[in-house]
Amino acid sequence: MAVAGIFFSLFTLNVTSYFEVMIYGILPVGLLWMCFMGVSINRYQQSLNDVLIWNEEKEITKKHWQRWSRRQLAIVGNVIFTPEQKGMGALLGEPENVPAYPCKARPLADVTHHSVASLLADIHVRLEEQCSDYHHMLHAVYLFSSSTGGDEKTEYAVFQQWGLFPEPFTSIDAISPLFDNDFDGLILVLCAQLWQEGNEKRESEFVSAQLISSSLFAQQNSIPVFAGLGRVMPLDPEGIAYNMDILLEYNQLQFNELHHVWVTQTDETLVANIMQYADQRQWQLPKRLPVHLIDHSFGPASDMAFPLALAMLTDAVNITGQDQLIIGRTLPQTKTMQLCLITEKLFSE
């Protein structure tokens, strides 16, 4: 640029001395160069500041989503009756001993009294053992109803047992608002999948009851916590790698902290995708039984499969002392799949 200024002053301005070359050639060009450099440096600094601000905002947003994702409900009581005498322990034993009834609907095991009232009375006794005087803190009962409608006899039996008329719900999404509300008291979530006289026995029988509270309420009242219930999150079967990466990153978990993956209402493609993901990420799942197939042991799934699975996995947490992950459809007729993480301990806020 300086050379160009010299030639310009010599041949255009007809300068005759070095001083004139300096004044009319090099100096203006130098000033012009400094202006260009100043603009470039200013733009660079602005771009650098934009990047720093973007990274800072990105980190703030990430921490916000981490806090949102790690919000849990405290499970302070859990009872589940299944077709297996050992309950979920039967599915956690040696692979060759895991029951296999993929097409068979089975009755409850070890239950001599099948009336709803007697089952609820048994649940009350067991919950009282787990959470003493829980009924004094109980302020709501949620009863899962199938898509065909609720059972009036079950609703009446619930009212007779707890003095609260149950609030029916048909999707696990009904509990989603509870995660963002530090509510007081306990909520009882009931699922009663029982054969009705005269109806076709298409699914196995299950009865589950979970006492849940906000983590803050459990902490303030020194209530022992069985497990931490995470948010139910949507899952794209084709994008399982992305969903799993987000789950682990936002919940600040490591692969070696998660050894039990359960699936319900899924197909072989999803299981294959899970296995492929585990291989790519060097996720050390148990070699002999890397994925637990709930439907393979308990038969065809129903509308209650996902809510029941949450109680099953809570039982599995207490048996193994390890975190559990469930993946499946919330309703058989939908293509949408969801996942939920149940942890042995509540995350620290």
What's the pLDDT at 40? 78
What's the pLDDT at 38? 74
Q: What angle do CA 214, 215, 216 make, to 5 degrees?
A: 90
Length of the chain: 349
Residue 6 has pLDDT above 50, yes or no: no
What's the pLDDT at 198? 67
Delineate the domains of the chain, giving CATH numbers in brackets. 2-67 (no CATH), 70-343 (3.40.47.10)
DSSP 110-179: S-S---HHHHHHHHHHHHHHHSTTGGGTEEEEEEE-BTTB--HHHHHHHHHHHSS--EEESSGGGGGGGG
Q: What is the pLDDT of residues 264-309, one digit of tens each?
A: 988 888 888 899 999 888 898 888 889 999 999 999 988 889 999 9
173 or 114, greater pLDDT? 173
pLDDT band for 51, please (50, 70, 90 cuts): confident
What's the pLDDT at 2? 47
Q: What is the pLDDT of residues 328-341, one digit of tens each?
A: 887 766 777 899 99
| Mean pLDDT for the chain overall | 85
Q: What is the pLDDT of residues 83-102, one digit of tens each?
A: 998 999 999 988 899 999 99
Please name the amino acid found at residue 208. Answer: S
Report the predicted TM-score, pTM, of the whole model to 2 decimal places.
Answer: 0.83
What's the pLDDT at 21? 47
What's the pLDDT at 28? 64
Residue 77 has pLDDT above 90, yes or no: yes
